[in-house]
Amino acid sequence: MVKGLSLLAFLSMVAGLLVLLYPVMVLFSPSPVVIAFQAAAVVLMIWARMTFGTRSFHAAANPTEGGLVTSGPYQYIRHPIYTAICLFAWPPVVAGLSVRAALAALLVTTGAIVRMLCEERLLVTRYPAYVDYMRTTKRMVPGVF
């Protein structure tokens, strides 16, 4: 059930990003502020993937072997990759103020949050130390959420 829901959440993130891409390419803006936020998102994504190591990505949430990762960006937030995806999607929406784009970004964010909740449920089962880790870090924004 949790893996199926996580797959649906992943597909909603992909769908939201595709809506932002086609047909009007809202996802990419000429605004320097938007570009700066999106560049920060890319850096966060790369940092998180490098910290995560050679573990593979699964469309359905599936905790991998190798222990709990709590270094790099994971020492500040539990889900830096999903944070990066949302940080990449929202700035052009805010700059463009399109209802269609806002709904697409909301779909991305909702998918990311559902995915995080599913992964956390699986991680607590796989790695009991995850409960302590959850007490010391927020999901996406240090000190906030």
String of b and e for 14-39 (b: at least 16 CB within 10 Å)?
eebbebbeeeeebbebeeeebeebbe
Supply 139's token pair: 């999901």
* Cα separation, 27 vs 72, whole angstroms: 27
What are the CA-CA distances from residue 101 to residues 20, 27, 57, 64, 67 (Å)?
6, 9, 27, 34, 38
Percent of the chain residues topping a pLDDT of 90: 76
* SS3 label, residue 128: coil
Percent of the chain residues topping a pLDDT of 70: 100
pLDDT at 22 over 90: no
Q: Which residue has the tokens 């960006």?
A: 73
Mean pLDDT throughout 101-110? 96
What does the mean pLDDT of the chain come to? 92
Mean pLDDT throughout 96-111? 93
Tens of pLDDT along 37-61?
A: 999 999 999 999 999 887 777 778 8
Any residues with CB less than 8 A from the CB of 29 and at least 6 apart, and which? 35, 91, 92, 95, 96
Q: Which residue has the higher pLDDT, 58 or 1?
A: 1
pLDDT at 92 over 80: yes
Q: Which residue has the higher pLDDT, 66 or 32?
A: 32
For the chain, which residues make up each domain, given as ranges?
2-136
* Cα separation, 97 vs 91, whole angstroms: 10
CA dihedral 55, 56, 57, 60 (to 10 degrees): -100
Mean pLDDT throughout 65-94? 94
Q: Which pLDDT score, from 0 to 100, does residue 43 have?
A: 98
Q: Which pLDDT score, from 0 to 100, does residue 14 have?
A: 96
Q: Which pLDDT score, from 0 to 100, does residue 23 have?
A: 75
Q: Which pLDDT score, from 0 to 100, does residue 111 have?
A: 98
